[in-house]
Structure 1
Amino acid sequence: MENNIYRLLTQVREKTPLVQNITNFVVMNNTANALLALGASPIMVHAQEEIDEVLGFCNALVINIGTLSQVWADSMLHAAKLANKIGNPWILDPVGAGISSLRNETLKQLLELRPTVIRGNASEIIALQNFNSTGGKGVDSTESSSTALDAGIHINKTYGSIVCISGELDFIISNDEISEIANGHIMMTKVTGLGCTATAITGAFLGLNNDPYQEAVAGIGITSLAGELASNLSKGPGSLQLHLYDSLYNLSKEQISENLKLKRYANPS
Structure 2
Amino acid sequence: MTQSIIQAVREQKPLIHNLTNEVVMNFTANGLLAFGGAPIMAKAEQEAKEMATAANGVLINIGTTTLNELSAMKLAGIAANKKGIPVVLDPVGVAATTFRQEAVKHLLHEVQFTAIKGNAGEMAQLVEIPWKTKGVESIGDGNLEEIAVKVAKAYHTTAVVTGETDVIYSEGKIIHNTTGHVWLEKITGAGCLLGAILTACLTTNHALEAKALAAVQFYGLAAEHAASQEYVLGPGSFLPAFIDALSKDLDQLKGVN
Shift in Å, 1:185 = 1.1
* Cα distance in 1, alignment partners of residues 26 and 140 from structure 2: 28
Q: What TM-score comes out, normalization by structure 1 length?
A: 0.89
Say if 2:127 is the partner of 1:92: no
Shift in Å, 1:257 = 8.7
Q: What TM-score comes out, normalization by structure 2 length?
A: 0.93
Say if 2:81 is the partner of 1:62: no
RMSD: 1.7
Helix, strand or coil for the counterpart of 1:178?
strand
Structure-1 residue corresponding to 2:101: 104
Shift in Å, 1:248 = 0.9
- Where in structure 1 do 4 or more consecutive aligned residues deviate above 4 Å? none
Q: Out of 223, 236, 239, which is 1:238 matched to?
A: 236
Say if 2:17 is the partner of 1:20: yes
The one-character-per-residue Cα deviations of 1:142-195 (angstroms, maximum 9, x if unpaired) are 024x63321221111111110001110011111311111111111211111101
* 1:126/1:151 contact within 8 Å kept: yes
* Cα distance in 2, alignment partners of residues 152 and 70 from structure 1: 28
Shift in Å, 1:51 = 1.8
Helix, strand or coil for the counterpart of 1:49?
coil
Helix, strand or coil for the counterpart of 1:56?
helix
Percent of residue pairs identical: 36
Structure-1 residue corresponding to 2:135: 138
Which stretch of structure 1 is more off in the superposition, 220-229 or 244-253? 244-253
Which stretch of structure 1 is more off in the superposition, 205-214 or 98-107? 205-214
* 1:226/1:251 contact within 8 Å kept: no
Structure-2 residue corresponding to 1:216: 212
The AA in structure 1 aligned to 2:234 is: G
Q: Out of 177, 183, 188, which is 2:184 matched to?
A: 188
Structure-2 residue corresponding to 1:225: 221
Shift in Å, 1:231 = 1.2
Shift in Å, 1:206 = 1.3
Which stretch of structure 1 is more off in the superposition, 220-229 or 205-214? 205-214
The size of the alignment, in residue pairs, is: 253
* Cα distance in 1, alignment partners of residues 146 and 96 from structure 2: 21
The AA in structure 2 aligned to 1:40 is: G
* Cα distance in 2, alignment partners of residues 82 and 103 from structure 1: 22
* 1:104/1:131 contact within 8 Å kept: no
* 1:190/1:237 contact within 8 Å kept: yes
* 1:160/1:175 contact within 8 Å kept: no
* 1:24/1:66 contact within 8 Å kept: yes
* 2:5/2:206 contact within 8 Å kept: no
